[in-house]
Amino acid sequence: MTHVADSRKISAFMSIKNGGKFLVYPSGSTPMREWASPDTFAALLPDLFPYGCGVFEDPLRPKKDRRFAMHTTFPFICLNIIQRRQSSYQASLQTPLSTFDHLAPLLEAVTVDTLASIQAKLAKLKPGVRFNPETEAEKGATALLRKVTLMSSSMFGSVGSHRNMREELRALLRDSGMPSLFVTLNPADSKNFVVSVMAGRDVDLDERLGLGDEVKEEVSQRFSAASTYHGACAEGFHFMVEKFIDVFLAYGSPEGGIFGKCLNHYGVVEAQGRGALHIHMLIWLEHAPSPLELRKHAKEDPEWAAEVGRYPPCDDDALAFRQRGEHWSLPLLQPPPHLPPDMSEEDWQRVRQDVLEVLECGQLHDHSFTCFKHLPKLRRAQKEEVLQTHFNDDGTIDIKRTHPKLNMYNLILVAAFCCNMDIKFVGSGMMGMAAVYYISNYISKVALDTPTMFAAIEARFRRLQRNAVS
């Protein structure tokens, strides 16, 4: 029990003893329904609905209200209800056709009583303890569970949506071939000026230039705005990804973007543990040679292969050999007290200096416990240094890398977004398929636990029995 909680309890009891008003929360054994029941939300969140009207799913609420998005628990309650509705009304138990002949006898032999018995035993097990079937009926029911998957193709994060993503990527591969680039963009939401404005702050940019010692206060205000209005972080992230696609990729433009003309792109958004968003994206470029064509061209034209080494993807030499004195420390990424440098030849040194500071703060990778939390003995090693881009004897290409801890980057994107990023050239079919597998695999959620699966199967069997009797 914390001191703050104790103080609040004492204040509440003192108010009641002095005749103060209080609100009674009744309880009962019958759960309230969530579907088409505005009264449920009025009772659950009286601070949002003090008059009991204008509630969620109530036609009397005609307009948007930012209070709902700024509430600490309401968005999570709604998301949980929406996900449960999707899983209840759109999910089904499925099994591959190839296993149905083996599954049919198990379906015939299993009974509702066996499933109910297993479910009761599972409920008594401690977390982490594995269930061991004892009778032949329990062994058959357990074998049945291994062959059945709960599918919901329209529910994001489910096994069905996972497979749909794979099919979309396969269609892109059949239509456009292997992707050319694999890009990761990780904007910082809590320090971003765009997020702060979308959160409702009335900021005069001219007044914020030349902050001087007030920069810490500005950082605190941006953190406060981002944490108060959670939707601003998602809106700001969406805005920046749109600008990346429309301006830097210039998708749909005949002139093309900074990488050339973009034919297709496929991105997947991931949320980190604290909720910050980042995106992984595959990019297809027009006239980009396939890995096989590159390998063939490099073998047939050695002069062309040597010429490729003159065009590194990024210039990290300055960062690799930058002088660091005895009292050197990482620069702090604070809101700049000046306008971003002009991307012209006159200001190129300022641009380069700003980019180097961003790289040192957000692009260098130092190992932490998250790198080896699942595989303690296989933590990620530093990248080997490659002094010049070149083709190997087997036709694969090694990209220049002069810093062992620096992720690949694009100077223009780092200067524009001032955030952590990664960019990889898909130089082999193996790497392309690995990238496709990665971005379509990590968003899928862990399968339902065993008690939930048995409860779903038992409910299905009871329904089949009722239908058979009727």
Rounded-to-integer distance, Cα 205 and Cα 194, Å: 11
Give Cα separations from 395 to 170, 296, 305, 417, 428 (angstroms): 25, 8, 10, 34, 9
pLDDT at 284: 92
Rounded-to-integer distance, Cα 98 and Cα 105, Å: 14
pLDDT at 177: 84
- Tell which residue, 219, 186, 221, has the closest CA to residue 200: 221
Rounded-to-integer distance, Cα 56 and Cα 107, Å: 42
Please provide the size of the chain in residues: 470
**244-299: pLDDT as tens digits:** 999 999 998 888 899 999 999 998 888 776 678 889 899 999 888 877 787 787 77
E strand or H helix at 354? helix 348-362
pLDDT at 446: 41
pLDDT at 249: 93
Rounded-to-integer distance, Cα 153 and Cα 165, Å: 10
pTM for this prediction? 0.67
Q: Enumerate residue ranges in the chain where pLDDT < 50.
A: 1, 320-321, 323-328, 377-380, 443-448
CB atoms under 10 Å from CB of 351, counted, come to 19
pLDDT at 443: 45
pLDDT at 222: 78
**225-251: pLDDT as tens digits:** 777 787 888 888 999 999 999 999 999
Give Cα separations from 131 to 29, 127, 148, 294, 467 (angstroms): 31, 11, 18, 54, 31
Rounded-to-integer distance, Cα 250 and Cα 407, Å: 24
pLDDT at 188: 80
E strand or H helix at 398? strand 397-398
